[in-house]
Amino acid sequence: MTPVHRADGVGTAAPEKVTRGPEPTPRPQLPKRTFADNEGVLAKLFLLPTVLGIIGLVAFPFILAIVFSFSDVTTGNPSLDFVGFRQWSTILGSRVFWTAFRNTITFTVISMALIIVIAHILANVLVRDFKGKWLVRFCVLLPWTTPVALAAVSWLWLLNSIFSPIDWVLRWFGLIEANMYYLGRPVLAMGSIIAVHVWRIVPVATVIIMAGHMAIPGEINDAAEIDGAGFWRKLREITIPLTIPISAVAVLFGAILTFADMTVVFILTRGGPTQATQVLSSWAFFKGIEGGDLAQGAAVALFLFPLLLAAAIAILRAVRRSEVM
Amino acid sequence: MVAQNGAERFTGGRIDVTDKEEVDRIRRQRRRRATWGRIALYTIAIIAALMAAGPFIWSAITSFKVDPDLYTKANNPFIYNLPPTLEHWRFLLNDTQFLTFAWNTLWVGFFVVSITLFVGLPAAYALARLDMKWSGPLGIAIFFVYLIPPTLLFIPMTRVVGNFSLLNNTWSLVLIYPTITIPVSVWLLTGFLKGIPKDVEEQALVDGYSRLSAFVRVVIPLAFPGIVAVIVFAFTLTAHEFIYALAFISSTPEKTISIGVPTELIRGDVFFWQSLQAAVVFVALPIALVFNLLLGRFIAGFTMGAVKG
Amino acid sequence: MAHVVEVRGLKKHFEKGDVQAVDGVDIATREGEYLVLLGPSGCGKTTLLRMIAGLEEPTEGEILIGGNVVNGLPPRARGIAMVFQSYALYPHKTVLDNITFPLKATMSDRDARREKATWAADLLGIGELLGRKPRHLSGGERQRVALARALVRDPSVFLLDEPLSNLDAKLRTSARDELKGFQERLGTTTIYVTHDQVEAMGLGDRIVVILNGKVRQIGPPQEVYSNPADTFVATFIGSPPMNLIDRGDHLLGFRPENFLPLEAMSSHGDNLLEVDVQVHRIEYLSGDRHVYATTSGLGPDDAHIIARIPATVNVAVNENGSQRFAVHEKDLRFFDGETGVVTEPRQVRT
């Protein structure tokens, strides 16, 4: 090998003959084929706790819920006597139930629509470099850091019919005269619930969509620049289509969080005014735990499952279809 | 070649680069648009930060307010019209069980996250690497469990917890919360592990390690960002959980923050508002700091997990 | 139309990592020229290309296209087209949509766009693939889509960033050939970045050799090969690299193919530098023989030398034997011992 005089001064020399080295490497003992290598056994072992846990602590209670719904069990009378479809017909005939059913769906759909739009805008902002980015990120994440219940308690005051700081600010700007009664009027109360959901879930959705943004190779954005796409066209034709799969994941997560949540309703309005903001999960709680009618509570809660399942399947199918990478 | 539409605004068409005036005009236009873009960016960022953090800023201020200041409709809620006080913080930390609640939440979180990782990582590995015929359907089934929310199961679950004699005991949460955290964690980790190239593992196998050994020594360190994502997510789910805790636990010392604060600091019609806000600030700040530190890793873990899941 | 690209005093400093990626570069292309930027990884060639494209703004210096300074102009206004190493095809769009994408900025008529895209696709032989998505294409096909997408913009400058490095070795040679023919037909000024000196030598009308953000030499392939400006160029270009012998205050250099057994040298007896070498190893590569040897007759220390004997020369060479080799004086090059820069020839014969 020639000595190569590079401008950076690195030279190489011809290799000398290399012997086996100071001590020859010991040959490994042929290991017995233990369970640690048997993939079939390992797979089953690794999955066993999860499967057992799910069967014992999810499948079993789920079936129990179904059993409850066909019985007359209450907190006073814990015995499970079969009563056929009596609970179901009571529920389906109840006006409150249908309000709760409708509300659960509307709250979720409206919240998710708002969340996705806002999260996309924020994700767009937060992936760029600007002064004070750390602070903005910190602030945007805050709603997600507090337990729902605590945040809801804060909002209880923020929306208070007398002392609401929001009203104070609006009055200060001269936009309103009297207070808004956010939690006292049905439409405003529903809006408040949706607002709190949006406020607390936007951080998580933003982070998820930011992840999606970062997954787009930089060269594709460069190519789009060169190809003459300005900000809006890039957004419409490149960024958004390529983040659809992950946006769908964000929608799914957010929808589950909103749909199945009873905390916000429980703390803000307890379902009021006059049951206007009741949702399925809160109604199930009031009926089942506070009202003692476990059978009805279980039955109401069961309605959550088919709706969630349908939504999940629809979303996941949309994701599969839009997979491009 | 002049821009096709000939209008004032340059929309991305060709320009004649040799036309100096045209070039200068485009350059000016670009600078102007960049500036407007910057203004829009900062505006949105500031509005978003205010709306997200506003309630917390208000909480922090309020936690030091004296009653007459707070309970006056005309007073500015964001300044101290009367001198602030530490009374409410003292009350929270000394005269209520708040610190007990916080401690409960912490150790429950610790155990639940540990169980989640201990059970979930191997499960995810099995689904991602050890390809069995039933891996695919099982993975989907595990994910679908996530669709059975606590608000559905809480009634029969109360009975199950009763059967374990854990009613009114914080340990009931350690037992049950993993059912919430494990399905989603397995889904995230499976996706993440699928994204790790196989060759490092295979190198370990060739070097004489068993599958199990390779998993522990090689895969787990490589999966670190995914693990961080799971820790963050699982702890969040645990700390936020409300309905199970509300249904299972009724005596004060066993409560977690999530149910303890709303139930104990609201006695009948009396709301200890300032102490409630102090509790909010107390809980939010440290968690927010930790989140921010881990955000980078969380995004890395989540991207891999969600995109490949 | 082909424009001339010029950069003057171009510098780029990255704050992240405090890196001076481009450190004072002056280049001017000729109209319709195929200019290759050649250098090892991290030498700044890609950064330079990106600045010309408008994807990065220089810290100092000017970029001119068609005689006008274009600093501050967005990429889309510069009349350039670029092909990336990864081809950067839009994965969610079909081949046709990929090619028509740049046209949406200028042509509002859908049919006209389609017509133009089809023309470009046919030119590149991918007319049948218009309905497919990128993930269903081979590497070579993807490259052609990227070229078609660049072509439809009627650019006055083509910028290519290592577009062949993602192809298999076999495909690379034929792709190189096609690329060059393609450019010759179009006559567009092309700037091509690569770290592969074989590619550079094969494609470039002129080669710009870059190291650490500075230009080491610009010239046609023959020139850069035969008369390297410094030791870096001398050893970076040519495989095997030029033999460099350390002689104290200067280095003596000659190419392996110029170093042959004495019997094989055509008889210009007076202008030969003869030396005895100890042969260690002979490799047989594509008909040539690569002879690895050492000699003590050229410099103060023993020097390792490689000779490349073409298949047409039948002189016997023995492994582990001593033999007399020679090189023409006119093929000798001299480099300064400290800076590595080429110097005036000197007397060598002892």
Residue A287 predicted with pLDDT over 80: yes
Whether the CB-CB separation of B23 and C71 falls below 8 Å is answered with: no
Of residues C106 and C117, which shows the higher confidence score? Answer: C117
A324: buried, middle or exposed (CB in 10 Å: 19+, 13-18, 0-12)? Answer: middle
Residues in chain B: 309
Nearest Cα residue in chain B from A150: B280
Give backbone dihedrals phi and psi of C293, rounded to 5 degrees, phi first: -145, 170
| Spatial contact of C313 and C230, defined as CB atoms under 8 Å apart | no
**What are the two backbone dihedrals, phi and then psi, of residue A21, each rounded to the nearest 5 degrees?**
95, 170
Give the Å distances, CA to CA, from B113 to B27, B120, B121, B229, C339.
Answer: 55, 10, 11, 11, 61
Q: Chain A 77-116, CB below 8 Å of chain B: which residues? A: none
Count Cα atoms within 13 angstroms, Cβ side, for A47: 26
For residues B39-53, average pLDDT? 92
Question: What per-residue confidence (pLDDT) applies to A30?
Answer: 58
Name the closest residue on chain C to residue B15, using Cα atoms: C77
Q: What is the pLDDT of residues B104-118, one digit of tens each?
A: 999 999 999 999 999
SS3 content of chain C, % helix, strand, coil (to 5): 30, 35, 35
Tell me how far apart the alpha carbons of residues A153 and B205 are, in angstroms, rounded to a whole number.
54
pLDDT-wise least confident of A127-136, B16-25, B32-41: B16-25
pLDDT given at position A35: 57
CA C179 to chain centre: 14
**Is C79 in a helix, a strand, or coil?**
coil
Contact B4 C154 (CB under 8 A): no
Q: Is the pLDDT of residue C311 over 50?
A: yes
- Structure confidence at residue C58 (pLDDT): 93
pLDDT band at A34 (very low <50, low <70, confident <90, very high): low
User: Which residues in chain A are contacts of B259 at CB distance < 8 A?
Assistant: 149
Nearest by CB to residue A149, choosing from B58, B151, B259, is B259
Phi, psi dihedral angles at C303 (to 5 degrees): -120, 140
- Contacts for A229 with CB less than 8 Å, ≥ 6 apart: A237, A238, B12, C76, C101, C104, C105
Which pLDDT belongs to residue A18?
Answer: 55
pTM: 0.81
Q: Vertex C31, ends C29 and C35: CA angle to 5°?
A: 40
User: Which value does ipTM take for this structure?
Assistant: 0.83
Task: Please report, as a single letter, which amino acid is at residue C190.
Answer: T
Query: What span, in angstroms and rounded, lies between the C-alpha atoms of B139 and B123?
Result: 9
Structure tokens at B255: 């409560």
Q: Which residues of C touch B30 (CB under 8 A)?
A: 72-74
Q: How many CB atoms sit inside 10 A of residue C68's CB? A: 19
pLDDT at C299: 78
Rg of chain A over CA atoms, in angstroms?
Answer: 29
Q: Residues of A2-17 as b/e, b for ≥16 C-beta within 10 angstroms? A: bbbbbbeeeeeeeeee
Give the count of beta carbons closer than 10 Å to the beta carbon of residue C31. Answer: 14
Burial class for B40, CB neighbours closer than 10 Å (0-12, 13-18, 19+): exposed
Mean pLDDT of chain C: 88
Average pLDDT over residues B209-229: 83
Assess contact for C245 and C299: CB atoms under 8 A: yes
Among B217, B221, B197, CA closest to B209:
B217
Q: Which of A146, A290, A260 is nearest to B262 (CA)?
A: A146
C287 near B CB under 8 A: no
- Is B13 in CB contact (< 8 Å) with chain C? yes
A308: closest chain B residue by CA: B147
pLDDT tens digits for A264-282? 999 988 887 888 899 999 9
Position A24 scores a pLDDT of 62
* Contact: A207, B302; criterion CB under 8 Å: yes
Q: Do C154 and B14 touch (CB under 8 A)?
A: yes
The sign one gets for the Cα dihedral A50, A55, A61, A62 is positive
Instruction: Say if the Cβ atoms of B13 and C79 lie within 8 Å.
Output: no
DSSP character for A59?
A: I
Instruction: Supply the DSSP string of C86-97, one letter for each residue.
Output: TTT--TTS-HHH
Residue A10 has pLDDT above 50, yes or no: no
CB pairs under 8 A between A and C: 110
Contacts of A284 (CB under 8 A, 6+ apart): A262, A297, A298, A300, A301, B151, B152, B154, B155
CB < 8 Å from B in window 52-111 of C: 65-74, 76-79, 105-108
Interface of A to C at Cβ within 8 Å reads 1-8, 13-14, 217, 219-220, 222-230, 233, 237-238, 241-242, 322, 324-325
User: What is the strand order of the sheet C60-65 is part of?
Assistant: C19-28, C5-14, C60-65, C68-69
CB contact at 8 A, C331 and C258: yes
CA angle C247, C248, C252 (to 5 degrees): 30
Of B119, B130, B208, the CB nearest to A42: B130
From C91, C280, C292, residue closest to A325, measured CB to CB? C91
Distance between CA atoms of residues B218 and B222, nearest Å = 6
Q: Which CATH architecture has domain B96-308?
A: Orthogonal Bundle (1.10)
* SS3 assignment, position C304: strand
Joined together, the tokens standing for residue A48 give 């066993």
- Taking an 8 Å cut-off on Cβ atoms, the answer to whether C135 and A324 are in contact is yes
Higher pLDDT, A110 or A9: A110
Residue B2 has pLDDT above 50, yes or no: no
Where b means 16+ CB within 10 Å and e means fewer, C218-243 reads bbebeebbeebbbbbbbbbbbebbbb
C5 three-state secondary structure = strand
Whether domain C5-226 has CATH 3.20.20.70: the reply is no
Confirm if C252 and C299 have CB atoms less than 8 A apart: yes
Compute the mean pLDDT over every residue in chain A, rounded to the nearest whole number.
83
Q: Output the six-digit token pair for A274.
A: 């006059």
Cα–Cα distance, C27 to C45 (Å, whole number): 12
Tokens of C208: 């710009």
For the cut 90, the answer to whether the pLDDT of residue B188 exceeds it is no
Helix (H, G, I), strand (E, B) or coil at C289: strand
Mean pLDDT (whole number) for C213-238: 92
Contact between C78 and B17 under an 8 Å Cβ cutoff? The reply is yes
**Fold exhibited by the domain C243-343:** OB fold (Dihydrolipoamide Acetyltransferase, E2P) (2.40.50)
User: Encoding tokens for residue C279?
Assistant: 């042969």
- Locate the chain A residue with the closest alpha carbon to B43: A125
Beta bridge partners of A97: none
pLDDT for A13 equals 44
Going by pLDDT thresholds of 50, 70 and 90, the confidence category of residue B80 is confident
pLDDT tens per residue across span A150-196: 999 999 888 888 888 888 888 888 888 777 888 888 898 999 999 99
How many Cβ atoms sit within 10 Å of the Cβ of residue C319? Answer: 11
> Cβ separation of B151 and A64 shorter than 8 Å?
no
Average pLDDT over residues A235-244: 89
CB contact under 8 A, C55 and A226: yes
Q: Which of B44, B149, B292 sits opposite A256 (nearest CB)?
A: B149
Tell me the CATH number at A155.
1.10.3720.10
**C-beta atoms of A153 and B284 within 8 A:** no
Ranges A43-47, B233-237, C101-105: which has the least confidence: A43-47
Q: What is the pLDDT of residue B307?
A: 55
For residue C94, give the chain A residue with the closest CA.
A324
Asked if residue B17 has pLDDT above 80, the reply is: no
The neighbour count for residue B173, using CB atoms within 10 Å, is: 26
Angle of CA points C253, C254, C260, to nearest 5°: 145
- Alpha-carbon distance values, B72 to A159, A247, B87, B89, B277 (Å): 15, 45, 19, 21, 17
Phi and psi at B290, nearest 5°, equal -60, -45
* Residue A45 belongs to a domain: no
Strands C243-246, C80-83: pairing kind: unpaired
Residue of chain C minimizing CA distance to A242: C92
What ranges do the domains of chain C cover?
A: 5-226, 243-343
- pLDDT at residue B184 above 60? yes
For residue A299, give its domain range. Answer: 94-321
Contact status, residue B145 vs residue A58, Cβ threshold 8 Å:
yes
Mutate to test the interface with A, among B146, B151, B218, B256 (most CBs of A within 10 A): B151
Give A29-76 as a DSSP string: P-----TTT-HHHHHHHHHHHHHHHHIIIIIHHHHHHHHHHTB---SS
Cα–Cα distance measured from residue B68 to residue A163, given in angstroms and rounded to the nearest whole number = 12
Q: Kindly state the average pLDDT of the residues C270-291.
A: 87
Grade residue C162 by pLDDT with cuts at 50, 70 and 90: very high
CA C252 to CA C238: how far, in whole Å? 16
Identify residue C261 by its one-letter amino acid code.
Answer: P
Residue B15's pLDDT is 60
Q: Which residues of C touch B19 (CB under 8 A)?
A: 68
Rounded to a whole number of angstroms, the distance from the CA of C62 to the nearest CA of chain B is 14
**Total tally of structural domains belonging to chain A:** 1
Alpha-carbon B259 to chain mean position? 18
Average pLDDT over every residue of C313-321: 85
- Phi, psi for residue C208 in degrees, rounded to 5: -110, 115
Read off the pLDDT of residues A66-83 as tens digits, 9 standing for 90 and up.
888 888 888 777 777 888
For residue B11, pLDDT beyond 50: no
What ranges make up the beta strands (E) of chain A? Answer: none
Q: Tell me the average pLDDT across B243-249.
A: 91
Per-residue confidence band for A122, with pLDDT thresholds at 50, 70 and 90: very high
Mean pLDDT of C304-327: 88
When pLDDT is averaged across residues B276-305 and rounded to a whole number, the result is: 79
Instruction: Find out whether C166 and C139 touch, Cβ atoms under 8 Å.
Output: yes
pLDDT-derived band at A4 (thresholds 50, 70, 90) equals: very low
Give just the sign of the alpha carbon dihedral B58, A120, A279, B182: negative
DSSP string, C47-60: HHHHHHHTSS--SE
